[in-house]
A and B are shown apart, each in its own frame.
Chain A
Amino acid sequence: SQKIEQNSEALNIQEGKTATLTCNYTNYSPAYLQWYRQDPGRGPVFLLLIRENEKEKRKERLKVTFDTTLKQSLFHITASQPADSATYLCAGAGNNRKLIWGLGTSLAVNP
């Protein structure tokens, strides 16, 4: 079945460093991938979308890549801040207008 897999282990990094989160897809080829941020007790908030024919997309301190050979997307936050601490969800376009969601990776940025 179509799957989106993210590292379930929490990522702890020091303020100012670059955080890199991984999203792998299996058993299908999504036309695009989306990244969302979810804070405790809140709904996910859309951050970035990258299409399969795009290698890289940037928005302020955020960068996302799409590698169709590795079947992987990487999500980077440069110059990370404690306010970036949250869970980051990857979602891939599935069949019939559905998004296939990963479980998310929890990021903690320590001051």
Chain B
Amino acid sequence: DTAVSQTPKYLVTQMGNDKSIKCEQNLGHDTMYWYKQDSKKFLKIMFSYNNKELIINETVPNRFSPKSPDKAHLNLHINSLELGDSAVYFCASSPRDGGTGDTQYFGPGTRLTVL
């Protein structure tokens, strides 16, 4: 039944570790996104894929690498985690190409805590 799902919901790890967050959508949407929401609640776009093609690649450290094996999945791998990476990471999807009028459907978020 779940539309956009993410795993894990919580992730606590040490500085320097490498971790991955997975996202799946069963809505048949063409575009998927990764957002970071920091402690000030600001939603910042990180990446977007349309039909497995990277279309938005914001200025994020290259320690962050997205991967879209198919249009229903978008994973985020983070190398050498730093304290400043602690945040809630949201996956989202939209029906078309993210352009005019395309609304976004969000997952429940993954709360990442780096110690």
B43-A93 in contact (CB<8A): no
Minimum CB–CB distance from B22 to chain A (whole Å) comes to 15
**A-B interface pairs (CB < 8 A), number:** 52
A99 and B31 CA atoms in complex are apart in Å by 13
**Which secondary structure dominates where chain B touches chain A?**
loop
| A34-52 residues at the B interface, CB under 8 angstroms | 34, 41-46, 49, 51
B100-A31 in contact (CB<8A): yes
**What is the 8 Å Cβ interface bit string for chain A, positions 18-37, against chain B (1 contact, 0 not)?**
00000000000001101000
Interface with A: B13-21, B66-74, B79-87, B90-98, which one? B90-98
Residue among A31, A87, A97, A99 with the most chain B CB within 10 A? A97
Q: Size class of B's contact patch?
A: 20 to 34
The answer to whether A87 and B104 touch (CB under 8 A), given A41-B109, A96-B56, A97-B97, is no
B4 contact set on A, CB distance < 8 A: 43
Q: Size class of A's contact patch?
A: 20 to 34
Minimum CB–CB distance from B108 to chain A (whole Å) comes to 6
Q: Find the A residue at minimum CB distance from B92.
A: A43
The answer to whether A46 and B105 touch (CB under 8 A), given A98-B56, A103-B40, is yes
